[in-house]
C-alpha cells in the first residue's frame, strides 16, 4: 500500500534516527554492535565533511561514528570487526537518474558499445549479431543498443534505413541510440509498424523523411520510435526479473546503494517488485512514473492512473531492508542538444554552416529545436496536479528554453504549495541561460547532472560546439556555474545512455577531461566551467541525491541513527591524483547493514 505524504515519511525517518542515535544512559553500556569498522579513513559527508576512524552498525543502522578508542564499548563477543587498514569508507552512492531495467535488458542485446563507428563498421557489427542468431530468420526482431549516433564517422554522417537494408537478412531491425532519443529502423521494421510517407509525426516525436517524403528510418523520441518498438514482442515477466537482477549486480559492484528509475513503466515496477519478493533487492529502488506529453493534456485521468500504480507498488517508509518507493513523476520537456538530432529546445537558434572551405563560417540558423513538449500552461497544471496527488516532479530538460520553462513550472508549484517540501528536479541541464543560474537556489530546484558528459568528446565537440556558438558553448554542462550560484547539485548516471561507470563520471565532474586513452582531439578541459571539487562531486552522489529522493534523513551521510548504506574503496578519492578517481574499485558494498557485494580478497584484510 502506498505510503502517502512527504511530511509523514520525514517524521517516520526522523523518529528512527532519534531512537537509534540517542545516547545511552551514563550507567548503561551500549548494546554491542553487529558489525564494526576501525582503523579507517571514514568520510562521513556530514555537515562538516568530517573524517573519522571507526563506525559501528546494529540492526541495519549506524550506532557509532568516531575514533577507534570510542568504538570499544560497542564491541561484543559476536561483533564482526573489520580492520580497514587505512582504507576509505564512505556513504553508498545514490544514483539520482538512471534507467535500470533498460540497462539490464541491454546487457543481453546486440551491443555497439558506445563506439565511434563508420557506416561500414556499424554494418559489420550488426551483421555479426545477425549471423550469431540465424535461427531467428526471417521474422525474429534484432534489437541493437548503444549506437553513438552523435559520433558517427566521418563527422556529420547520418545513418538511414539504407544502411540496415543492405545487411544479409530479412529480419526487422531496430537500433536505439545511446542517448535514448533516436531510433533507426530498417524497411521491414517500418513496414511492420505501418509507417509510411502518410504517417503524421506523433505528439512529442518526429519521423525522419527523405527528400521525397518517405520515412528515412530515423525516429526521434519515444513517441516516434515506440511506433516500431511496440511491434517487438515484450520480454516476459521472468526475463524482466532476470534483467533487473543483472542491473542490480552491475550497480552493487559500482557501489550504488540507492537509485531512481527516471522513466518508470509498469514492467520495471513489476520486475523489481518480483526481485524484492525473492529477497534479492540489493539497492533502494525509487521510481519516477512516466507521463507522456499526450497524457499531460488530461492531468486528472493521468494522476488517477499513476496513483493506482503507486498504491500497488510503493512499500512505505524507508527501512533497513531495501524496498520500492514510488513518489516521483517524470516529464520530458525536450530531447537532446546535439547534432544531428537538435531536439533540445533552445531560446536562440542553433548555428549552421554557411559557405565552403576558407569561406565557411557558422551563423544562427532557423532552427530552435522543437517546442517544449509540455506547453507552459499544460506543464504548470500537470505539476500542480502531481503535487496535489503526492508526487514530486523529475523533468528532463537539455536545452535552455526547456530549462527555463521547467523553472517556470517549479515557480508556479512553489506559489501554489508554499508550505510543502516538494523536491522538484530538472535532469541534465546541459545548456542553461546564465540568467537562470540563480533561480535553482531561489526555487530550490535540484539540477541532476550526468558528470560524465562534462568532457571534450564527439558529442560535445563535433556534435555541439559549432552548433551552439561560442557564447553558449562557454556554459555547456554548467556544473561549476550552477554550484557557484548556490544550486544543490545531485548526480545521476543516466545509464544505459552511457556505460555504468560511476567513478569515471565522478572523475570527469572534477577534471572535466576525457580519458587519457581518448582521441587526442578531445584532450584538455571542456569549456570555461571550473567544474566541481572532490567534496562537491561526492556530496552530489550521496547526500544531495538522497535529498532529491526525499531520503536524506535516512541515507547520504554516515551519522548515528542513519541507515548503514556504505562502501569501502581501494583508494582514497580525496588524496589520489584526480585522474585516478576513474580507477577506483569498490571493495565492499553494504545496504542496511547487509553486505551485498564484496570484491574477491577483501575479507582477507
Relative orientation angle of helices 376-388 and 400-416, to the nearest 10 degrees: 40
pLDDT of res. 301: 97
Does 183 reside within a domain? no
Does 381 reside within a domain? no
| Nine cell digits for residue 8 | 509523514
Which residue is listed with cell 563498421? 121
Q: How many CA atoms lie within 13 A of 17 on its CB side?
A: 18
pLDDT of res. 352: 95
Does 45 reside within a domain? yes
Relative orientation angle of helices 266-277 and 299-313, to the nearest 10 degrees: 10
Q: Could you read off the pLDDT of 185-202 as tens digits, one per residue? A: 999 999 999 999 999 999
Q: Which long-range contacts (CB under 8 A, 24 or more apart) does 530-533 make?
A: 530/480, 530/481, 530/484, 531/454, 531/479, 531/480, 532/451, 532/479, 532/480, 532/483, 532/489
Q: Could you read off the pLDDT of 332-390 as tens digits, one per residue? A: 999 999 998 899 999 999 999 999 888 899 999 999 999 999 999 999 999 999 999 99
Q: Considering only CA atoms, which of 141, 320, 301 is closest in space to residue 228? A: 141
Phi, psi of 329 (to 5 degrees): -125, 150
Yes or no: say if 456 and 523 are a contact pair by the CB < 8 Å rule: yes
pLDDT of res. 266: 97
Range 454-473 average pLDDT: 95
pLDDT of res. 456: 97
Q: Could you read off the pLDDT of 436-452 as tens digits, one per residue? A: 999 999 999 999 999 99
Yes or no: say if 60 and 594 are a contact pair by the CB < 8 Å rule: yes
Q: Residue 99 pLDDT > 50, yes or no?
A: yes
Yes or no: say if 332 and 399 are a contact pair by the CB < 8 Å rule: no
Yes or no: say if 531 and 512 are a contact pair by the CB < 8 Å rule: yes
Q: Residue 177 pLDDT > 50, yes or no?
A: yes
Does 48 reside within a domain? yes
Q: Residue 16 pLDDT > 70, yes or no?
A: no
Q: What is the rounded distance in angstroms from the CA atom of residue 299 to the CA atom of residue 393?
A: 14
Q: Write the DSSP symbol of residue 320.
A: S
Number of other CB atoms surrounding residue 230 within 10 Å: 9
Mean pLDDT of the chain: 94
Range 406-430 average pLDDT: 98
Range of the domain at 588: 6-92+561-604
pLDDT of res. 215: 97
Yes or no: say if 65 and 54 are a contact pair by the CB < 8 Å rule: yes
* Chain CA centroid to CA 103, Å: 11
Cβ-based burial of 222 (10 A; exposed 0-12, middle 13-18, buried ≥19): buried
**Confidence class of residue 604 from pLDDT cuts 50, 70 and 90?**
low
**Confidence class of residue 13 from pLDDT cuts 50, 70 and 90?**
low
| Nine cell digits for residue 53 | 576512524
Q: Could you read off the pLDDT of 54-88 as tens digits, one per residue? A: 999 999 999 999 999 999 999 999 999 999 999 99
Q: Residue 2 pLDDT > 50, yes or no?
A: no
Which residue is listed with cell 541510440? 177
pLDDT of res. 300: 95
pLDDT of res. 69: 97
pLDDT of res. 21: 44
Yes or no: say if 462 and 522 are a contact pair by the CB < 8 Å rule: no
Q: Per the omega criterion (within 30 degrees of 0), is the bond before 160 cis?
A: no
Yes or no: say if 224 and 205 are a contact pair by the CB < 8 Å rule: yes
Does 39 reside within a domain? yes
Strand partners, 55: 37, 65
Q: Per the omega criterion (within 30 degrees of 0), is the bond before 138 cis?
A: yes
Range 282-288 average pLDDT: 98
Range 294-319 average pLDDT: 97
State the greatest distance between any 2 C-alpha atoms of the chain, in Å, as a whole number.
87
Q: Could you read off the pLDDT of 227-280 as tens digits, one per residue? A: 999 999 999 999 999 999 999 999 999 999 999 999 999 999 999 999 999 999
Q: What is the rounded distance in angstroms from the CA atom of residue 497 to the CA atom of residue 474?
A: 24
Q: Residue 127 pLDDT > 80, yes or no?
A: yes
Q: What is the rounded distance in angstroms from the CA atom of residue 586 to the CA atom of residue 588?
A: 6
pLDDT of res. 7: 46
**Confidence class of residue 179 from pLDDT cuts 50, 70 and 90?**
confident
Does 33 reside within a domain? yes
Q: Write the DSSP symbol of residue 33.
A: P
Q: Residue 5 pLDDT > 70, yes or no?
A: no
Yes or no: say if 286 and 261 are a contact pair by the CB < 8 Å rule: yes
pLDDT of res. 305: 97
Does 250 reside within a domain? no
Q: Of 13-22, 31-40, 326-335, 482-491, give the lowest mean pLDDT range.
A: 13-22
Report the CATH number at residue 10.
2.30.40.10
Q: Residue 97 pLDDT > 70, yes or no?
A: yes
Q: How many CA atoms lie within 13 A of 564 on its CB side?
A: 27
Q: Residue 136 pLDDT > 90, yes or no?
A: yes
Q: What is the rounded distance in angstroms from the CA atom of residue 261 to the CA atom of residue 402?
A: 21
Three-state secondary-structure class, residue 212: coil
Q: What is the rounded distance in angstroms from the CA atom of residue 191 to the CA atom of residue 549?
A: 42
Q: What is the rounded distance in angstroms from the CA atom of residue 165 to the CA atom of residue 162?
A: 5
Range 281-310 average pLDDT: 97
Q: Which long-range contacts (CB under 8 A, 24 or more apart) does 231-236 make?
A: 231/141, 231/172, 231/189, 231/192, 231/193, 232/141, 232/143, 232/174, 233/141, 234/267, 235/105, 235/267
Q: Could you read off the pLDDT of 544-589 as tens digits, one per residue? A: 999 999 999 999 999 999 999 999 999 999 999 999 999 999 999 9
Q: How many CA atoms lie within 13 A of 287 on its CB side?
A: 28
How many separate domains does the chain show? 1
Cβ-based burial of 295 (10 A; exposed 0-12, middle 13-18, buried ≥19): middle
Q: What distances in angstroms separate CA 112 from CA 222, 351, 498, one per listed residue?
A: 20, 30, 12
Strand partners, 286: 260, 325
pLDDT of res. 150: 81
pLDDT of res. 14: 53
Three-state secondary-structure class, residue 202: coil
The string of DSSP letters for 339-355 reads TTT--S--SSPPEEEES
Scored b (16 or more CB within 10 A) or e, 72-97 reads: eebbeeebeebebeebbbbbbbbbbb
Does 79 reside within a domain? yes
Yes or no: say if 432 and 400 are a contact pair by the CB < 8 Å rule: yes
Q: What is the rounded distance in angstroms from the CA atom of residue 270 to the CA atom of residue 276?
A: 10
**Confidence class of residue 27 from pLDDT cuts 50, 70 and 90?**
low
CA angle, 163 then 165 then 167, to 5°: 85
Which residue is listed with cell 546503494? 257
In this structure, is the dihedral angle defined by the CA atoms of residues 446, 287, 264 and 410, taken in order, positive or negative? Answer: negative
Q: What is the rounded distance in angstroms from the CA atom of residue 199 to the CA atom of residue 265?
A: 26
Q: What is the rounded distance in angstroms from the CA atom of residue 241 to the CA atom of residue 169?
A: 31
Q: Of 6-15, 98-107, 533-542, give the lowest mean pLDDT range.
A: 6-15
Amino acid at each position: 500500500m502506498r505510503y502517502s505524504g512527504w511530511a509523514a515519511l520525514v517524521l517516520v525517518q526522523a523518529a528512527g534516527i532519534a531512537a537509534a542515535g540517542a545516547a545511552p544512559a551514563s550507567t548503561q553500556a551500549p548494546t554491542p554492535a553487529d558489525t564494526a569498522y576501525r582503523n579507517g579513513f571514514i568520510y562521513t559527508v556530514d555537515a562538516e565533511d568530517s573524517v573519522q576512524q571507526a563506525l559501528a552498525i546494529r540492526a541495519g543502522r549506524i550506532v557509532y561514528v568516531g575514533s577507534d578508542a570510542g568504538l570499544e564499548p560497542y564491541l561484543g563477543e559476536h561483533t564482526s570487526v573489520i580492520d580497514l587498514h587505512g582504507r576509505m569508507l564512505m556513504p553508498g552512492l545514490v544514483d539520482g537518474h538512471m534507467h535500470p531495467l533498460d540497462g539490464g535488458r541491454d546487457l543481453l542485446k546486440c551491443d555497439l558499445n558506445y563506439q565511434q563507428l563508420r557506416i561500414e563498421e556499424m554494418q559489420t557489427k550488426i551483421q555479426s549479431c545477425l549471423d550469431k542468431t540465424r535461427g531467428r530468420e526471417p521474422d525474429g526482431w534484432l534489437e541493437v543498443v548503444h549506437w553513438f549516433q552523435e559520433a558517427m564517422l566521418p563527422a556529420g554522417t547520418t545513418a538511414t534505413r539504407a544502411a540496415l537494408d543492405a545487411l544479409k537478412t530479412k529480419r526487422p531491425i531496430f537500433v536505439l541510440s545511446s542517448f535514448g532519443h533516436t531510433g533507426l529502423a530498417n524497411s521491414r521494421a517500418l513496414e511492420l509498424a505501418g509507417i509510411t510517407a502518410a504517417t503524421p509525426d506523433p505528439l512529442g516525436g518526429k519521423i525522419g523523411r527523405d527528400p521525397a517524403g518517405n520515412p528515412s528510418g530515423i525516429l526521434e523520441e519515444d513517441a516516434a520510435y515506440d511506433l516500431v518498438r511496440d511491434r517487438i514482442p515484450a520480454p516476459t515477466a521472468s526475463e524482466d526479473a532476470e534483467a533487473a537482477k543483472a542491473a542490480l549486480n552491475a550497480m552493487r559492484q559500482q557501489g550504488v546503494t540507492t537509485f531512481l528509475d527516471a522513466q518508470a513503466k509498469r514492467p520495471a515496477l513489476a520486475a523489481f517488485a518480483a526481485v524484492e519478493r525473492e529477497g534479492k533487492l540489493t539497492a533502494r529502488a525509487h521510481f519516477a512514473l512516466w507521463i507522456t506529453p499526450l497524457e499531460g493534456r488530461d492531468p486528472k485521468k493521468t494522476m488517477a492512473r499513476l496513483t493506482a500504480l503507486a498504491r500497488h507498488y510503493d512499500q512505505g517508509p524507508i527501512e533497513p531492508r531495501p524496498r520500492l518507493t514510488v513518489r516521483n513523476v517524470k516529464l520530458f520537456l525536450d530531447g537532446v542538444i546535439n547534432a544531428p538530432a537538435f531536439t533540445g529546445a533552445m531560446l536562440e537558434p542553433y548555428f549552421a554552416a554557411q559557405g565552403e572551405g576558407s569561406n565557411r563560417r557558422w551563423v544562427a540558423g532557423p532552427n530552435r529545436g522543437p517546442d517544449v513538449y509540455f506547453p507552459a500552461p499544460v506543464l504548470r497544471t500537470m505539476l500542480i496536479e502531481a503535487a496535489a496527488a503526492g508526487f514530486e516532479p523529475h523533468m528532463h530538460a537539455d536545452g535552455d528554453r526547456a530549462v527555463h520553462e521547467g523553472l517556470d513550472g517549479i515557480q508556479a508549484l512553489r506559489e501554489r504549495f508554499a508550505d510543502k517540501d516538494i523536491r522538484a528536479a530538472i535532469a541534465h541541464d546541459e545548456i542553461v541561460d546564465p540568467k537562470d543560474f540563480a533561480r535553482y537556489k531561489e526555487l530550490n530546484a535540484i539540477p541532476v547532472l550526468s558528470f560524465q558528459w562534462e568532457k571534450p568528446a564527439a558529442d560535445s565537440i563535433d556534435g555541439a560546439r559549432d552548433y551552439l556558438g561560442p557564447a553558449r558553448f562557454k556554459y555547456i554542462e554548467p556544473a561549476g556555474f550552477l554550484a557557484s550560484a548556490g544550486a544543490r547539485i545531485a548526480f545521476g548516471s543516466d545509464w544505459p545512455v552511457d556505460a555504468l561507470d560511476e567513478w569515471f563520471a565522478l572523475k570527469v565532474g572534477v577534471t572535466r577531461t576525457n580519458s587519457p586513452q581518448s582521441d587526442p582531439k578531445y584532450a584538455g578541459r571542456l569549456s570555461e566551467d571550473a567544474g566541481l571539487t572532490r567534496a562537491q562531486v561526492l556530496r552530489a552522489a550521496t547526500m544531495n541525491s538522497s535529498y532529491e529522493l526525499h531520503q536524506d534523513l535516512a541515507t547520504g551521510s554516515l551519522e548515528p541513527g542513519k541507515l548503514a548504506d556504505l562502501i569501502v574503496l581501494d583508494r582514497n578519492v580525496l588524496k589520489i591524483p584526480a585522474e585516478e578517481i576513474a580507477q577506483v574499485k569498490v571493495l565492499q558494498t553494504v545496504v542496511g547493514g547487509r553486505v551485498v557485494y564484496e570484491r574477491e580478497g577483501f575479507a582477507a584484510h
